[in-house]
């Protein structure tokens, strides 16, 4: 028993000191509470963002069929098929900016795209080739 105490007295003293110190801190914190969390300054509050409305349009000859891919309001990819043109999709985002992107491929020799954000034309493209594919992009809408 004496040999065990000779080896273990230092870790035992450290453990007791940690326990006593922890209890003292908890007790003193209850007697002398700190200021707590600071209250936020209302002047620092972020103002609500105005909604942004993006309109994606795919243009071409009537009767054109194909596939369109676009980014939604949360910048997630979406996909749909169209059986005639023109095709359009309206996206409303409650963010300071949106990544507006649309790409389409059709079976006609001509296809175009257009992106309008809050009534302002931000990109327009036209492609004239067999089974045309077109894309429009605005990274800072």
Question: What CATH number does the domain containing 118 carry?
Answer: 2.60.40.2880
- Coil, strand or helix: which one is 19? helix
In a domain, 105, yes or no: yes
Q: Provide, rounded to the nearest whole percent, the portion of the chain with pLDDT above 70.
A: 90
Interval 73-129: pLDDT, tens:
888 999 999 999 999 999 998 888 888 999 999 999 999 999 999 999 999 999 999
In a domain, 14, yes or no: yes
Nearest residue to 79 (alpha-carbon basis) of 98, 63, 66: 66
DSSP assignments along 29-84, one per residue: HHHS----SPPPPGGGSPPPPPPEEEEEEEE-STT--EEEEEE-TTS-EEEEEESS
Structural domain count of the chain: 2
Residue 95, φ and ψ in degrees, nearest 5:
-130, 165
Query: Rounded to whole angstroms, what are the CA distances from 4 to 7, 16, 17, 19, 101?
Result: 5, 17, 20, 22, 74
pLDDT band at 46 (very low <50, low <70, confident <90, very high): low
Residues 106 and 77 in one domain: yes
In a domain, 44, yes or no: no
In a domain, 41, yes or no: no
In a domain, 46, yes or no: no
**And the tokens for 65?**
């069929």
Residues 106 and 82 in one domain: yes
Residues 62 and 30 in one domain: no
Residues 31 and 58 in one domain: no
32 pLDDT exceeds 70?
A: no
Stated pTM of the model = 0.65
Order across the sheet with 77-82: list the strands: 77-82, 66-71, 100-106, 133-138
Range of the domain at 17: 1-36
Tokens 């936020």 correspond to: 40
Residues 79 and 23 in one domain: no
């Amino acid at each position: 028993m004496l040999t065990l105490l000779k080896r273990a007295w230092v870790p035992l003293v450290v453990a007791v000191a940690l326990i006593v110190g922890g209890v003292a801190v908890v007790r003193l914190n209850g007697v002398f509470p700190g200021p707590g969390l600071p209250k936020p300054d209302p002047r620092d509050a972020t103002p609500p963002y105005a909604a942004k409305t993006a309109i994606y349009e795919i243009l071409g000859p009537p009767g054109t069929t194909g596939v369109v891919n676009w980014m939604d309001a949360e910048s997630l990819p979406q996909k749909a098929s169209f059986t005639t043109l023109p095709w359009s999709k309206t996206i409303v985002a409650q963010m300071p900016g949106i990544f507006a992107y649309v790409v389409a491929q059709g079976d006609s020799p001509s296809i175009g795209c257009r992106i309008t954000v809050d009534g302002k034309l931000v990109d327009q493209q036209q492609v004239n080739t067999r089974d045309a594919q077109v894309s429009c992009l605005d990274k800072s809408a």
